[in-house]
């Protein structure tokens, strides 16, 4: 699957959609789709499928095929079955989404290697998809979960942001250029550079209005998904245009999964073709061997009387302790004189066997 990065701004709108659809519902099943993707079935008037992968979570009506349930999925299903969804939130403007349930928090981290963390209501970690450790936070059983440190730009006014910018850079806002502003906002507030690029003009003079538009990326009235080309990946961002981000995300990922399923099916088909070819070849070899044995059986049957006589002579000669070479010579002379198209090649008196050749 192609590497995909989803900006934190997209999660702002994903969480709004999920909240409208799922809060008040009950978890009734959790299933694995592949090693990095699973579905949570949540019933609210009707059952809805929440698809969760390394990049994002989204609702889908399309029934993706499930795989053998792994250990984490089994544990989550057993623990969370029938728990109610009380709240769904994004942590600040991080790529972190968490569900508050009756007795637990189910937390999804969509950055780094991604992670799934289950805690109690005091945020004590019960289990996680993987253990991780940073200088300021540890993800492992028994630890208290800490959300990534960050300053949420949405909690500050334009004037507060400008004042802090001028203090930090010792420069007036009008004197900072686009590149400098993006660098500052990424470092200070962890904003996605691609999202800032979308709302700032190339040669725009940076003003309070610029900061207002940047904050406005979290308040689009018509959010629509946009797919950008990164250096080595695809970047999913959001623009304020007519559309439905909710549907866009599902459509984009379903194409990804369907293509992946086609690749898997093609691989399986190729493997099945190889197995079939091997089976046909094996069958052919068996048939050849059977035909060969049948022919040998027919020959042996046609020479049955002579073979019985040879068996008797070999037995008598062996009892008289005549050596193998002399026995072979005498029997072959007899066969030759009587024009019998048969020849003894070797005799093994210990195993009481011999090798004959039919002309």
According to CATH, what is the number of the domain 10-150? 2.30.310.10
For residues 200 and 177, what is the distance between their CA atoms, to the nearest angstrom? 11
For residues 349 and 322, what is the distance between their CA atoms, to the nearest angstrom? 10
Burial of 72 (0-12, 13-18, 19+ CB in 10 A): middle
Helix, strand, coil shares of the chain, percent, nearest 5, are 45, 25, 30
How far is CA 129 from each of CA 29, 107, 149, 160, 190, rounded to the nearest angstrom? 18, 11, 21, 39, 25
Predicted confidence at residue 263, as pLDDT, reads 41
Predicted confidence at residue 264, as pLDDT, reads 40
For residues 144 and 138, what is the distance between their CA atoms, to the nearest angstrom? 8
The strand pairing partners of 108, in sequence order, are 97, 116
Predicted confidence at residue 277, as pLDDT, reads 63
pLDDT level of residue 281 (50, 70, 90 thresholds): low
Predicted confidence at residue 353, as pLDDT, reads 80
Predicted confidence at residue 272, as pLDDT, reads 53
pLDDT level of residue 244 (50, 70, 90 thresholds): confident
Contacts of 311 (CB under 8 A, 6+ apart): none
Q: Is the Cβ–Cβ distance between 208 and 162 less than 8 Å?
A: yes
Q: Report the b/e string of 123-162 with b at 16+ CB within 10 A.
A: eebbebbeeeeeeeeebeeebebeebeeeebeebebeebb
Question: Does the pLDDT at position 8 exceed 60?
Answer: yes
Mean of the pLDDT values across residues 155-172?
Answer: 95
For residues 10 and 246, what is the distance between their CA atoms, to the nearest angstrom? 10
Q: Which stretches of 169-221 are assigned E, i.e. beta strand?
A: none
Mean of the pLDDT values across residues 290-307?
Answer: 66
Mean of the pLDDT values across residues 129-140?
Answer: 93
Contacts of 249 (CB under 8 A, 6+ apart): 10, 14, 56, 58, 225, 236
Predicted confidence at residue 114, as pLDDT, reads 92
The secondary element (H helix, E strand) that includes residue 71 is helix 71-80
Predicted confidence at residue 322, as pLDDT, reads 82
Predicted confidence at residue 266, as pLDDT, reads 42
Mean of the pLDDT values across residues 90-97?
Answer: 95
Predicted confidence at residue 335, as pLDDT, reads 80
Predicted confidence at residue 129, as pLDDT, reads 95
DSSP letters of 216-268? GGG--SSEEEEEEE-SSSEEEEEEESSS-HHHHHHHHHHHHHHHHHHHHHHHH
Average pLDDT of the chain, as a whole number: 86
The helix/strand count (H/E) of the chain reads as 9, 16
Burial of 277 (0-12, 13-18, 19+ CB in 10 A): exposed
Tell me the domain boundaries of the chain.
Answer: 10-150, 153-240, 303-358
């Amino acid at each position: 699957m192609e590497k995909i990065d989803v900006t934190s701004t997209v999660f702002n709108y994903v969480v709004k959609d999920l909240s409208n659809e799922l809060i008040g519902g009950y978890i009734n099943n959790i299933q694995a789709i592949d090693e990095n993707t699973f579905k949570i079935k949540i019933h609210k008037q009707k059952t809805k499928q929440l698809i969760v992968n390394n990049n994002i979570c989204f609702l889908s009506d399309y029934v993706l095929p499930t795989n053998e349930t792994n250990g984490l999925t089994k544990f989550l299903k057993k623990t969370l079955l029938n728990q109610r969804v009380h709240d769904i939130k994004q942590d600040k403007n991080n790529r972190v989404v968490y569900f508050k349930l009756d007795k637990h928090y189910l937390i999804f981290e969509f950055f780094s290697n991604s992670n799934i963390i289950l805690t109690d209501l005091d945020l004590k970690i019960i289990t996680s998809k993987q253990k991780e450790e940073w200088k300021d936070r540890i993800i492992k059983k028994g630890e208290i979960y800490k959300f990534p440190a960050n300053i949420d730009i949405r909690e500050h006014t334009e004037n507060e942001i400008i004042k802090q910018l001028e203090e930090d850079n010792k420069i007036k806002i009008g004197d900072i250029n686009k590149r400098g502003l993006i660098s500052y906002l990424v470092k200070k507030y962890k904003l996605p550079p691609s999202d800032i690029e979308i709302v700032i003009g190339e040669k725009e003079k940076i003003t309070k209005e610029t900061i207002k538009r940047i904050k406005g990326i979290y308040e689009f009235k018509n959010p629509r998904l946009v797919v950008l080309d990164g250096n080595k990946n695809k970047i999913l961002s959001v623009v304020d245009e007519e559309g439905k981000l909710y549907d866009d995300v599902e459509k984009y990922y379903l194409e990804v999964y369907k293509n992946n399923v086609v690749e898997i099916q093609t691989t399986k088909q190729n493997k099945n073709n190889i197995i079939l070819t091997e089976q046909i070849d094996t069958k052919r070899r068996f048939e050849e061997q059977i035909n060969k044995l049948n022919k040998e059986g027919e020959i042996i049957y046609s020479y049955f009387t002579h073979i019985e006589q040879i068996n008797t002579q070999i037995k008598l000669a062996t009892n008289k302790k005549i050596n193998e070479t002399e026995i072979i010579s005498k029997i072959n002379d007899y066969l030759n004189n009587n024009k019998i198209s048969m020849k003894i090649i070797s005799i093994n008196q210990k195993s009481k066997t011999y090798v004959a050749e039919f002309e």
